[in-house]
Amino acid sequence: MPDPFPIEAVNHIARVTHDLEASLVFYQNVLGFRPIRRPNFQFPGAWLFNYGVQIHLIATSERNAPTSDISMRDDHVAFHVTDTDVVEKLLAEHGIDYRKNYVADTQVTQLFFLDPDGNHIEIGTYPPAQELA
């Protein structure tokens, strides 16, 4: 079997958006990402950075109906926090619906919600990863 790729870290997460302004407000004001320089591409978008990772927003005019159902088993990006109570309070202040889940065997509290385009986001308190023996 060939060696695995020499991956060092996650560089960015790309999100397609139908409303660039709404996504910018969400990723900046709700999640705390900050705008960074973006190359002069021939299509609209924005790049943001915080927490050691970039978010690349890619604007499109193609319309897919965004989901309004919050799922714990759909594609999502997850961010680690030390206090989900603070996040719950902030989600309420921003008027964002969410689902809460507790995983007893790992003692992980998870909060699931959607960005303006219906992309799933998870916030949780995660223990260090444990490799299988």
CATH number of the domain within which 35 lies:
3.10.180.10
Q: Which long-range contacts (CB under 8 A, 24 or more apart) does 25-32 make?
A: 26/115, 26/116, 27/55, 27/57, 27/115, 29/94, 30/90, 30/94, 30/96, 31/79, 31/121
Q: What is the pLDDT of residue 65?
A: 59
Average pLDDT over residues 89-114: 93
* Mean pLDDT value of segment 29-51: 94
Q: Are residues 58 and 74 in the same domain?
A: no
Q: Average pLDDT, stretch 51-79?
A: 83
Q: What is the mean pLDDT of residues 11-24?
A: 94
Residue 29: the pLDDT is: 97
Asked if 80 and 109 sit in the same domain, the reply is yes
Catalytic residues: 122
Domain that holds residue 29: 1-62
Q: What is the pLDDT of residue 100?
A: 96
Total-model pTM: 0.84
Same domain for 56 and 69: no
107: exposed, middle or buried (Cβ count in 10 Å: 0-12, 13-18, 19+):
exposed
Mean per-residue pLDDT over the chain, rounded: 90
Report, as an integer, the average pLDDT of 61-77.
76
Domain count, the chain: 2
Q: What are all long-range contacts of 68-73, with beta carbons under 8 Å and residues at least 24 apart?
A: 68/114, 68/118, 70/97, 70/98, 70/99, 70/112, 70/113, 70/114, 70/120, 71/112, 71/120, 72/99, 72/101, 72/110, 72/112, 72/122
* Same domain, yes or no: 75 and 133: yes
- Average pLDDT rounded to a whole number, residues 35-49: 93
Supply the pLDDT for residue 98: 96
